């Protein structure tokens, strides 16, 4: 019935992936959005909040909520920038730095399982096509 429905199929896939990433980030007390945001902050420390929202393709209010959760868990701090006191840079805490390797490993494990299930070439092709669709519709 919905074989050709992009919404149905991507939503079903998103729910399945949500379960995978929830399990991966659970040991850190993080939701998948928090886990990906923290990985971005660790990779790009002192990024501005709007830069992180753009990087993760999420709305700024969503980024605020995700960062609020990370801040409450002690993983990030908001710091005013030197040049413009209205801007806020997001920096990882030592607590975040301490779990960086384990967080990246957990992510790599999920990606590896999915790659093995789909096959490496199919995985790369699928991600590439999804990015193209997202960019075209975005």
Q: What is the CATH number of the domain that holds 34?
A: 1.10.10.10
Number of domains into which the chain is organized: 1
- Domain annotation covers residue 1: no
pLDDT mean over 99-117: 97
Per the prediction, the chain carries an average pLDDT of 94
* Residue 110 in tokens: 């999920």
Segment 5-17 shows an average pLDDT of 93
Question: What pLDDT score does 138 carry?
Answer: 76
Instruction: Find the helix packing angle between 94-118 and 6-25, rounded to 10°.
Output: 130
Give yes or no for a contact between 24 and 107, defined as CB atoms under 8 angstroms apart.
yes
Confidence at residue 87, expressed as pLDDT on a 0 to 100 scale: 81
The contacts of residue 101 (CB under 8 Å, 6+ apart) are none
pLDDT digits (tens, 9 = 90+) for 41-92: 999 999 999 999 999 999 999 999 999 999 999 999 999 887 777 788 999 9
Count of residues making up the chain: 138
For 115, the domain range is 6-137
Averaged over 100-117, what is the pLDDT? 96
Q: Is the pLDDT of residue 128 over 80?
A: yes
Q: What is the pLDDT of residue 3?
A: 85
27 alpha carbon, distance to own chain's centre: 16
Say how far apart CA 129 and CA 123 lie, in whole Å.
Answer: 10
């Amino acid at each position: 019935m919905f074989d050709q429905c992009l919404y149905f199929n991507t939503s079903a896939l998103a729910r399945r992936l949500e379960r995978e990433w929830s399990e991966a980030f659970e040991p850190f007390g993080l939701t998948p959005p928090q886990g990906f945001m923290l990985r971005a902050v660790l990779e790009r420390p002192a990024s501005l909040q709007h830069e992180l929202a753009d990087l993760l393709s999420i709305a700024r209010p969503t980024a605020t909520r995700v960062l609020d959760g990370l801040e409450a868990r002690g993983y990030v701090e908001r710091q005013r920038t030197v040049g413009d006191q209205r801007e806020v840079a997001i920096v990882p805490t030592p607590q975040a730095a301490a779990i960086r390797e384990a967080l990246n490993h957990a992510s790599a494990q999920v990606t590896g399982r999915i790659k093995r299930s789909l096959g490496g070439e199919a995985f790369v092709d699928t991600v590439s096509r999804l990015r193209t669709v997202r960019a075209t519709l975005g």
